[in-house]
Amino acid sequence: MSSGAFDGKIALVTGAGSGIGRACAMLLGARGAAVIVNDLNAETAQATVEAIRAAGGRAEVAPANVARRDEVTAAVNAALAALGGEIIDVLVNNAGVGSRRMPIEDIDDDALDRMLGVHVKGAFHCAQIVLAGMKQRKAGKIVNISSAMGTVGGRSGSHYAAAKGALLGMTRTWARELAKWNIHVNVVAPGGVFTAATATIPNYADEARTRVPIGRFGQPEEIAALVVFLASDEASYITGQTVSANGGEFIH
């Protein structure tokens, strides 16, 4: 994929203040996209923007809670205007919240609402922001970030698995519904990935050596490479698919 594969395009990446989202935003910026960087944390979002600009790219910040429709719509539209654009060409729905391992009985309504609000409602809100422009142009790429827990489940934390699983069904339905406008929708479901959040989990690296055939968990940049491929013109015949980068831990 050439370094200017996204020249002239605008990408919205949610949850891009750190981890996989930041890696996606950085790579899209390096490949020529002007990037709208969303995160609940305005400081980390701005840090990603500054890093993209320092590397010679274009970016604007859109700090907002994706679970709140009015808030994220206003922030994204302001960033889009600042970039001088009218249409968002690429959407990466990455914003999410993690969870400690919790048995079913310990998951209260607040925890359930927060999990579904960010992962599911947030993805809906952002898709609704970008779709009018994509339909007008008859082109667009949406990549949702799920998790291997959404495909195979986990030992606990079923509210997280439920939210990530919902993204799989949404992706497949959106892909069918939007195909006539040449809008491609896919979902990436990573296995274990080293981020600032997962680095705090006790014995996380040791688990990788026993669980993952290649002997390690992934890096955010490895997931970003897959996401950016699916968002590119090179993936022009791929839609409605779930791709799991997991080092061979889960083979479907």
Q: Which residues are catalytic?
A: 160
With 0-12 / 13-18 / 19 or more C-beta atoms within 10 angstroms meaning exposed / middle / buried, residue 170 is buried
Whether 9 and 89 have beta carbons less than 8 Å apart is answered as yes
Assign 185 to helix, strand or coil.
Answer: strand
What is d(CA 111, CA 234) in angstroms, rounded to the nearest whole number?
Answer: 39
Whether 27 and 78 have beta carbons less than 8 Å apart is answered as no
Sequence length of the chain is 252
Instruction: For residue 250, give both structure tokens.
Output: 């889960």
What is d(CA 13, CA 234) in angstroms, rounded to the nearest whole number?
Answer: 20
